């Protein structure tokens, strides 16, 4: 098998239905938001530390793409010697790919911005500007501002007065952070994707409050640093209400529910790629998790799943506690992206024996995957 494939062959691979991974090995500054391929970014200097997380099987058909400097071919040669038999490099790198002008070039995925804007145009999600938010506050109108980014992003800077709630936790913590049904709820991020999807999550879940997203909350808006987080999901008020909202949000989704033994069998399947993604907080993951799983906040998968799930056609198992609030929200938006992976849920007690009647009912309605 050659170390190189032509741009024409690469284009045909992007259009077929078989498992395929594409890794953009440029440095993060050159990669930017992922254009033009929207593949996972794995700079060559980080390959040794991260390749096993991104490519769980060494035989996965994988294309490495560089900036035209030949580094992808050299990296393929080294990794093949270590057993990564499915790797090839795109001949000529991105310059050769971009030189194809005979027809529109396929991409590995779409940008998070494009996906969130498609949701916006379909649902007409309400929005307000930073100036309008300030005006509401000046009038004394009750406003709750929820920042749906990760804790690390939030701590680097956020709109003053915001509460940090990961997108996957919005339903779980809503009653604890929004005590009044009269308050205007505004969801923010540094740009648009997680703000739009976060606001639409609450709207589709049927919360009683008026909900909008903060349009382009960046630049002058992100001026306050430090941590101001929501209560832990386990401590959030009214769990039955949260679970009822999840049922409403995910009605018709129909995700398979599997057990721990099935997840482990899928993980070890030599013929199919499976990602075990634990969407609980990092501290919960550290206290106990399914072997072979990785910790990743569900909200980080909403609009840019290609960064963390680079194998098209893979199985994706979302792992959560027995209530499944985070996993359900995350799976709902992954499904909307229409990528070709198969989604299943593993809801596990992690040592706790209690389980709500509402979630039990939800699980009984869901299809159960065969091992």
Environment class of residue 152 by beta-carbon count within 10 Å: exposed (0-12), middle (13-18) or buried (19+)? Answer: exposed
Whether the pLDDT of residue 119 is over 90: the answer is yes
Can you give the residue ranges of every domain in the chain?
4-108, 113-238, 256-365
pLDDT at 175: 92
Whether the pLDDT of residue 250 is over 60: the answer is yes
Environment class of residue 270 by beta-carbon count within 10 Å: exposed (0-12), middle (13-18) or buried (19+)? Answer: exposed
pLDDT at 305: 85
How far is the first Cα of the chain from the last one, in angstroms, to the nearest whole number? 34
Q: Which of 175, 158, 317, 345 is nearest to 245 (CA)?
A: 175
pLDDT at 357: 32
Per-residue pLDDT reduced to its tens digit, 267-296:
999 999 999 999 998 899 999 999 999 999
pLDDT at 227: 60
Whether the pLDDT of residue 78 is over 60: the answer is yes
pTM: 0.87
Per-residue pLDDT reduced to its tens digit, 309-365:
999 999 999 999 999 999 999 999 999 887 778 999 999 988 753 333 333 333 434
Per-residue pLDDT reduced to its tens digit, 125-152:
999 999 999 999 999 999 999 999 888 8
pLDDT at 74: 95
Which of the four pLDDT bands, split at 50, 70 and 90, describes residue 240? confident
Which of the four pLDDT bands, split at 50, 70 and 90, describes residue 101? low
Which of the four pLDDT bands, split at 50, 70 and 90, describes residue 303? confident
Whether the pLDDT of residue 234 is over 70: the answer is no
pLDDT at 366: 44
- Overall fold of domain 256-365: Oxidized Rhodanese; domain 1 (3.40.250)
Residue 349 contacts residue 322 (beta carbons within 8 Å): yes
Whether the pLDDT of residue 258 is over 70: the answer is yes
Whole-angstrom Cα distance, residue 143 to residue 183? 5
Mean of the pLDDT values across residues 141-165? 90
DSSP string, 193-216: HHHHHHHHHHHHHT-SS-EEEETT
Percent of the chain with pLDDT over 90: 66
| The domains spanning 4-108 and 256-365 adopt the same CATH topology | yes
What would the two tokens of residue 326 be?
Answer: 């985070």
pLDDT at 341: 84
Please state, as a whole number, how many other Cβ atoms lie within 10 Å of the Cβ of residue 120.
19
Assign domain 4-108 to its CATH architecture. 3-Layer(aba) Sandwich (3.40)
Assign domain 113-238 to its CATH architecture. 3-Layer(aba) Sandwich (3.40)
């Amino acid at each position: 098998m050659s170390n190189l494939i032509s741009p024409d062959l690469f284009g045909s691979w992007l259009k077929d239905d078989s498992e395929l991974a594409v890794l953009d090995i440029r440095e993060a500054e050159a990669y930017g938001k992922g254009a033009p391929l929207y593949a996972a970014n794995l700079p060559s200097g980080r390959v040794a530390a991260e390749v096993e997380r991104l490519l769980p099987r060494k035989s996965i058909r994988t294309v490495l793409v560089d900036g035209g400097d030949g580094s992808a071919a050299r990296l393929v040669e080294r990794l093949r010697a270590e057993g990564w038999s499915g790797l090839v490099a795109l001949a000529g790198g991105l310059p050769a790919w971009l030189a194809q002008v005979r027809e529109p070039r396929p991409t590995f995925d779409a940008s998070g911005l494009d996906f969130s804007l498609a949701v916006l145009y379909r649902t007409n999600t309400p929005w307000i500007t930073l100036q309008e938010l300030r005006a509401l506050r000046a009038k004394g109108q009750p406003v709750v501002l929820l920042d749906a980014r990760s804790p690390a992003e939030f701590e680097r800077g956020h709109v003053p007065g915001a509460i940090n709630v990961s997108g996957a936790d919005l339903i779980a913590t809503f009653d604890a952070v929004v005590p009044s049904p009269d308050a205007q709820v505004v969801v923010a991020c540094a740009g648009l994707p997680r703000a739009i999807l976060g606001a639409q999550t609450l709207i589709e879940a049927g919360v009683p409050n008026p909900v909008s997203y903060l349009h382009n909350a960046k630049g002058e808006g992100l001026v306050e640093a430090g941590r101001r987080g929501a209560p832990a999901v386990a401590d959030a008020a009214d769990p039955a209400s949260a679970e009822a909202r999840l049922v409403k949000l995910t009605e018709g989704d129909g995700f398979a529910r599997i057990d721990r033994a099935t997840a482990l069998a899928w993980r070890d399947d030599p013929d199919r790629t499976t990602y075990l993604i634990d969407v609980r907080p990092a501290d919960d993951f550290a206290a106990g998790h399914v072997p072979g799983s990785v910790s990743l906040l569900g909200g980080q998968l909403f609009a840019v799943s290609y960064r963390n799930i680079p194998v098209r056609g893979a199985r994706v198992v979302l792992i959560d506690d027995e209530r499944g609030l985070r996993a359900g929200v995350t799976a709902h938006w992954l499904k909307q992206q229409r990528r070709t992976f198969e989604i299943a849920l593993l809801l596990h007690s992690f040592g706790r024996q209690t389980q709500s009647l509402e979630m039990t009912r939800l699980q009984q309605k869901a299809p159960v995957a065969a091992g």
